[in-house]
C-alpha cells in the first residue's frame, strides 16, 4: 500500500446529537404513518358517505306504495265471459277502459266526492299502471267478473312520496304537489289500513316508463348485457391477438413503435370521441341501426381495445423469459412457445385487464349518447339490433327527469349498476385464483 489512508474517528453513537437524530427520525416516521392513516380514513369516509347516501336513497326505489281497493268487476262494464269465447273476451277486456272499474271502486270508497273534477283528482291517486294490473287480473281469471275483489293497486308517485315521507304535510299547501284534499283522502285510506309499502319487483323486471312508479331497469340491464357481449366478442380476441403479435412476433421497427405509441394514446382519448367515431362510421357509413346494442358494443369495443391490449402486453411481458428459453431450448416453435406457455401464464393478467375494460365499458355513458342509445325505450330489447338503452344511460335519463320519485329510482339503478360492477370484479378475482392455482 503506497498511500497512507486516514483512519476514521470512532463514532460516538451515544452523543446528544445522535440521540436527537434518532428522535427526529422516529418523529418523522410517526407523522408519516399518521398522515397515511388519515388519508385512508378520509377516503373510506368519502366512500361510506357515497354508498350510504346512494343506498339510503336507493333502497326506497325498490319499494312502492299500494292502495287496497274493493274493485267491482261488474258485467255491465266488461261483459260476461260466459256469453263469448275466450278470444272475444280477451278483445273485450283489451277494449275496456279499466279506469271505469277504478272509478267505481273509488266512488264506493269516497261517496262524498261528487264533481267530475274531484273525481279525476281522486283517480289520479292511483297509478296509471293500475289499469294494466286489472286487465292482467281479468285475463288470468275471467271468473272474477261479477264479483267484487279487494285489489292491491299501485299508488301514484305523489301518494308514494307522501307515504315515504318525502312530501312534508306541514309545508304550505302551495309549495307541495299533494294538496290538502288529497292528503285528507290519503289519511282516510291510511286509517282504513288500505295503504301499504311493498317490495316492487316491477322495478327489476320492467322497462322504462314516464311514470316513476312504473319504471323498471330490466330493459336497460338487458341493453347493457347485449352491448357488453358485443364488446367482449369484438375487443377480447382482437385485443389479445394484437397484444400477442406486438409482444412476441412483430419486428421492432419504426412502424411498430408508432403503433405502440398510438395504442397508448388511444387509451387516453376521451370516450366521447369514440362515440363520435361510432356515429360517423357505424351509423354514417355502415348504416347500422341507431340506438342498437350492436353499435354501442362496437363503439365500446373501440374504447376498450387499448385497455385490453395494454394490460395483455404487460402481463405477457411479465412472463419470465426463462420459460420462453426453456420451451425454445426443447425445440418448441414460436407459436408453441406462445400458446403452450406464454399465454396460459399471462391469462390471469389478460383476464383481469379485460374485465377491468369491460367494467369501464359497463359504466360508460358518453359514447352511447352519441350513437342514440339515449332514447326513451319501454320495450325489453330482444337482440343486438333492437333499440335499447344501457344502465348508465338509464341513470342519466332518470337523473334528468323532473319527477321527484325518480331521485330514488336513480339511486336504486346506481345500486344495481354497482352490484354488477362488484360481480365483475369478483369474477376477475375468482378467475385469477382459478388460473393461478394450476401451478
Q: Write down the least CB distance from residue 433 to another protein, Å.
A: 15
DSSP string of 98-150? THHHHHHHHHHH-TT--SHHHHHHHHTTB-THHHHHHHHHHHH-GGGTTSEEE
For another protein, the closer CB: 111 or 251: 251
CA pair distance 295, 11, nearest whole angstrom: 74
CA pair distance 355, 361, nearest whole angstrom: 9
CB 128 within 8 A of CB 137: no
| 252 touches another protein (CB under 8 A) | yes
For another protein, the closer CB: 32 or 339: 339
Please pick, from the candidates 325, 375, 382, 429, the single residue that binds another protein as defined by CB under 8 A: 325
| 323 touches another protein (CB under 8 A) | yes
Q: Write down the least CB distance from residue 322 to another protein, Å.
A: 4
Please pick, from the candidates 345, 395, 407, 416, the single residue that binds another protein as defined by CB under 8 A: 345
Number of chain positions touching another protein (CB under 8 A): 20
| 326 touches another protein (CB under 8 A) | yes
Alpha helices in 318-405 (DSSP H): 321-329, 334-336, 343-362, 366-370, 391-399
For another protein, the closer CB: 320 or 383: 320
CA pair distance 377, 290, nearest whole angstrom: 12
For another protein, the closer CB: 8 or 439: 439
Q: Write down the least CB distance from residue 255 to another protein, Å.
A: 14
Please pick, from the candidates 100, 164, 341, 432, the single residue that binds another protein as defined by CB under 8 A: 341
Distances (CA, A) of 368 to 230, 378, 391: 14, 17, 11
Q: Write down the least CB distance from residue 436 to another protein, Å.
A: 9
Strand partners, 338: none
For another protein, the closer CB: 10 or 331: 331
For another protein, the closer CB: 175 or 438: 438
| 111 touches another protein (CB under 8 A) | no
| C-alpha cell of residue 214 | 312504473
Q: How many residues does the chain have?
A: 439
For another protein, the closer CB: 136 or 257: 257
Largest CA distance in the chain: 127
| C-alpha cell of residue 135 | 286487465
Sign of the CA dihedral 232, 234, 239, 241?
positive
Q: Write down the least CB distance from residue 423 to another protein, Å.
A: 29
| 336 touches another protein (CB under 8 A) | yes
Q: Write down the least CB distance from residue 340 to another protein, Å.
A: 8
Please pick, from the candidates 16, 111, 329, 402, the single residue that binds another protein as defined by CB under 8 A: 329
Strand partners, 150: 70
Residues that bind another protein (CB under 8 A): 251-252, 320, 322-323, 325-333, 336, 340-341, 345, 438-439
Amino acid at each position: 500500500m503506497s498511500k497512507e489512508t486516514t483512519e476514521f474517528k470512532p463514532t460516538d453513537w451515544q452523543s446528544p446529537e445522535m440521540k436527537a437524530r434518532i428522535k427526529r427520525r422516529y418523529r418523522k416516521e410517526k407523522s408519516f404513518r399518521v398522515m397515511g392513516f388519515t388519508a385512508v380514513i378520509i377516503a373510506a369516509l368519502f366512500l361510506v358517505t357515497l354508498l350510504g347516501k346512494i343506498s339510503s336513497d336507493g333502497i326506497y326505489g325498490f319499494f312502492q306504495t299500494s292502495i287496497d281497493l274493493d274493485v267491482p268487476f261488474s258485467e255491465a262494464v266488461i261483459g260476461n265471459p260466459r256469453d263469448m269465447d275466450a278470444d272475444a273476451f280477451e278483445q273485450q277486456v283489451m277494449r275496456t277502459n279499466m279506469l271505469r272499474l277504478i272509478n267505481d271502486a273509488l266512488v264506493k270508497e269516497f261517496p262524498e266526492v261528487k264533481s267530475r273534477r274531484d273525481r279525476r283528482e281522486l283517480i289520479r291517486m292511483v297509478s296509471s299502471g293500475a289499469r294494466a294490473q286489472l286487465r292482467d287480473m281479468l285475463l288470468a281469471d275471467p271468473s272474477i267478473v261479477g264479483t267484487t275483489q279487494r285489489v292491491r293497486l299501485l299508488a301514484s308517485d305523489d301518494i308514494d312520496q307522501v307515504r315515504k315521507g318525502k312530501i312534508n304535510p306541514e309545508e304550505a299547501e302551495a309549495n307541495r304537489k299533494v294538496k290538502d284534499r288529497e292528503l285528507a283522502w290519503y289519511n282516510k285510506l291510511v286509517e282504513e289500513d288500505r295503504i301499504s309499502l311493498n317490495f316492487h319487483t316491477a322495478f327489476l323486471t320492467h322497462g322504462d316508463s314516464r311514470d316513476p312508479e312504473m319504471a323498471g331497469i330490466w330493459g336497460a340491464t338487458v341493453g347493457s348485457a347485449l352491448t357488453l357481449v358485443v364488446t367482449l366478442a369484438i375487443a377480447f380476441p382482437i385485443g389479445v391477438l394484437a397484444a400477442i403479435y406486438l409482444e412476441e412476433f412483430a419486428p421492432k421497427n419504426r412502424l411498430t413503435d408508432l403503433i405502440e405509441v398510438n395504442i397508448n394514446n388511444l387509451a387516453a382519448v376521451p370516450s366521447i370521441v369514440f362515440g363520435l367515431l361510432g356515429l360517423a362510421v357505424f351509423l354514417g357509413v355502415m348504416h347500422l341501426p341507431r340506438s342498437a346494442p350492436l353499435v354501442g358494443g362496437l363503439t365500446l369495443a373501440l374504447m376498450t381495445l387499448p385497455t385490453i391490449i395494454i394490460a395483455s402486453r404487460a402481463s405477457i411481458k411479465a412472463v419470465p423469459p426463462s420459460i420462453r428459453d426453456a420451451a425454445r431450448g426443447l425445440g418448441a416453435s414460436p407459436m408453441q412457445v406462445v400458446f403452450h406457455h406464454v399465454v396460459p401464464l399471462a391469462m390471469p393478467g389478460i383476464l383481469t385487464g379485460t374485465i377491468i375494460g369491460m367494467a369501464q365499458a359497463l359504466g360508460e355513458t358518453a359514447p352511447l349518447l352519441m350513437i342514440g342509445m339515449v332514447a326513451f325505450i319501454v320495450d325489453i330489447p330482444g337482440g343486438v339490433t333492437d333499440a335499447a338503452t344501457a344502465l348508465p344511460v338509464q341513470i342519466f335519463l332518470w337523473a334528468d327527469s323532473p319527477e321527484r320519485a325518480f331521485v330514488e329510482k336513480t339511486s336504486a339503478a346506481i345500486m344495481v349498476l354497482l352490484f354488477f360492477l362488484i360481480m365483475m370484479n369478483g369474477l376477475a378475482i375468482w378467475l385469477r385464483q382459478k388460473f393461478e392455482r394450476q401451478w
